[in-house]
Amino acid sequence: MKAELKGTGVALATPMNPDYTVDYPSLGKLLDHIVGGNTNYIVVQGTTGESPVFSWEEKLQILQFVLDHLKGNKPVVFGLGGNNTFDLIEKSKDLKDYDLAGILSASPYYNKPSQEGIIRHYQLLADTFPHPIILYNVPSRTASNIEAATTLELAKHPNIIAMKEASGDLRQCQKIADKRPDGFMLLSGDDGLAYDIIKMGGEGVISVIGNLMPAEYTAMVNLALEGKFDVANEQNEKLGVVYEMLAEEGNPSSLKAGLEAIGICNRTVKPPLFDASEALVEKWKGYLS
């Protein structure tokens, strides 16, 4: 199962209608676009999928649609993280019959637990979750960093299989890469740093750009994984302008501007997020045409 999560995973966006309901026809179109780019797996209801603004019932409906649409052709990871440990444990019981390659679980936000608290949180989840856990460290959103030593301690648990690192701290990533136990995967959570993390021994990336340019980005990741670092770096540098545009008005607003530009879905995001500007859509059209 771990081998399924190497390479390029795509943090799936959630297309929406103007009334903020899920635009399922466009979601199907987006999935076809991503799969056509030779990506390796799909991550449903991560941050890019606007997970904070959907009810639990809506999340499960989105998950079921994705599984039905893919028909087993790509592994699926589901996002289930938060700052209420026992609520997550209760919700996880609903996932036992779903065919999932793993559960991506972001570190607790807002209440800022100590490193000991983070360890206890994830150990409790790992003891009870029905699928393997991918840790997710994204301090820019959680206001709490998972230190390398904490990751390495959690990596000892048999139901914790990987870390999605989005701290931006390459020294921290290197410590994990150097000292992790056999079989524990290091995945980039930042499109622009995936090349560097793979070069230090990481196994891949959970990507935003993979929604928009799946073939081009997956090709770069595969070159890096094959050890063809010079060619991969050339491709990575060419994609630099895309990384910047994806951050221009925040994620996923900037991404959805790009998806509107290529006719996949409209740019609607659900409050409290705000739709990207028409200027950014036109910028994407100019770049992607």
Instruction: Judge contact between 269 and 47, C-beta under 8 A.
Output: no
Q: Is residue 272 part of a domain?
A: no
What is the distance between the terminal CA atoms of the chain, rounded to a whole angstrom? 38
Domain enclosing residue 173, as ranges: 2-227
Instruction: Judge contact between 109 and 141, C-beta under 8 A.
Output: yes
pLDDT tens, position by position, 219-234: 999 999 999 999 999 9
What is the amino acid identity at position 286?
Answer: G
Catalytic residue numbers? 136, 164
Instruction: Judge contact between 80 and 105, C-beta under 8 A.
Output: yes
Q: Is residue 123 part of a domain?
A: yes
Q: Is the pLDDT of residue 289 over 70?
A: yes
As a whole number of angstroms, the distance between CA 27 and CA 30 comes to 5
Q: Is residue 283 part of a domain?
A: no
Q: Is the pLDDT of residue 279 over 60?
A: yes
User: What CATH number does residue 139 fall under?
Assistant: 3.20.20.70
Indicate the number of domains in the chain: 1
Q: Is residue 42 part of a domain?
A: yes
Structure tokens at 239: 């994609």
Q: Is the pLDDT of residue 67 over 60?
A: yes
Mean pLDDT of 185-201: 98
- Label each residue of 122-172 as H, E or C: HHHHHHHCCCCEEEEECHHHHCCCCCHHHHHHHCCCCCEEEEEECCCCHHH
Q: Is residue 94 part of a domain?
A: yes
Mean pLDDT of 85-113: 97
